Structure 1
Amino acid sequence: MRDDPSTGRVVLVGAPLGNLGDASTRLREVLSSADVVAAEDTRRLARLARDLGITVSGRVVSYFEGNDERRTPELVEALEAGSVVAVVTDGGMPSVSDPGFRLVRAALEAGFPVTAAPGPSAVTTALALSGLPSDRFVFEGFLPRTPSNRRSRLRELTAEPRTLVFFEAPHRIAGALADLAATFGDDRPAAVCRELTKTYEEVRRGPLAALAAWAVENEPRGEITLVVGGAPARPAARPGDDELRAAVAAHEAGGRSRRDAIQAVADEYGVKKREVYALVHSS
């Protein structure tokens, strides 16, 4: 890593998802002072700057999924010339299912520092609003576009115990929800988070089957983040009869009465007490 403060660096800038009030002071500072601003959509960047009352003084270049492979070497050249390169998307954090990752890798490989002016993220915002467990989650980005590939991907996730977060296009959300219900089960809890922080923000919570029916009837529009509950824990397999008898014997050897030993084993393995009793007394 280059230690000279005059060398170039990359700054990932978190842009508002929709509400301008979420724009940070650092976002304003970085966009105003960066030598180069790589924007997913240069027109939206111009509108954002105008709405925030700031002037982007650096060179503005487009940087989106269709040109990032070609544009990345140019941005690395700017870093080599000592430029501060800011990366900004249409909303949320760069490189999270948005342009930025390729430049981050290239900058790090070339020895340039990468930092962030962190801001809103649709992933964590939707997760927090969903009402589903948020202590452990996995972000899956966009599901495959074709139904067959989408169903194949979902089958790989059927046993995932963590809460799942997806991005989805509005014209595919009904099909995605139908496939999720068919793969994960109609009753798996989920939340469709639409137009987060914007005027028509909507969070629809419920079982997958109900959400799939709602999507067909309402054809939701706008940017959508989908949160789905993880797979429920499967009950442990019942131990064999010999294992249960051995467990009772071990408790008795430790000084417990047979009655207490049977109760302890029943609690430990989730087996009915009378079943353990019958096994012990039939041996």
Structure 2
Amino acid sequence: MSGVRRPLLLVTCLVVLAGCGTQAAGIPSPAPHSPTTATTSSTASSPASSVPPATSSAPRTTSKKKPPAPPPAASGVVVIDPGHNGGNAANPAAINRQVPAGRGRTKPCNTTGTATDAGFPEHAFTWAVSLRARDILAARGVKVLLTRQNDTGIGPCVDARAAAGNNANADAVVSIHADGATDPSAHGFHVAYSSPPLNAAQGEPSARLARTMRDGLRSAGFPLSTYIGSAGLSPRDDLGGLNLSTRPAVLVECGNMRNAAEAAKFSAGAGQQAYAAAIAAAILAYLR
């Protein structure tokens, strides 16, 4: 029986030696995979050449999304003209004196403006919106000048307001107002511009500014006027601040202060901010 076992032992030994022979010949065996991941441990017994690149045991890095780039800075000079002033009503002699209004006409220096039925005045609305629009534009790199510096003064007169934009060589002049239509159902904004034009700036530049302003306010959800102009635009020949301008200029009537729904927006900070944001966005679009 022992003579039968020797050949079996010899064969077994040869098989074992053949299995270890690669190391003995100096050829390294495949490097062991890290057992830290489920994918690696499931392929540990396979030759290295059969492991696809996706199963590499190297630590994976998680890519982080970069924050969105800030909007590009704008450039230019913009004059914002807050309509009327808080001291006008108490100084009728000063605001009623006649001043040049363009096209050979004269008209009163300024007016008191209108108010909501609850007594919120137009001058306070235009001042609040102008300040908010100024801050938005300044944050984007635009130089902004206002035609008046507070809401308690008198004027300035319409010719002086036009001169402010002219002297600043403004890229755009935007006068902000609110209307006082007697029909309480009348509502919506319109944008006025000088027509027929008296100079090159009152031509296509002002017309383009008017269209851009109209589109911006409409895109922000504000309705077009139901009672003045056409499609939100109103060409005018009787507005001194526009007639006397030698820069692209428009006047925005934001809506009817006698309309209850619009009056509520005019009187609230959120509404004022919404108008300011839409006006500022339109100015930026025009400057681009």
TM-score class normalised by the smaller sequence: under 0.3
Alignment TM-score, normalising by the size of structure 1: 0.26
Larger Rg, first or second structure (1 or 2): 2
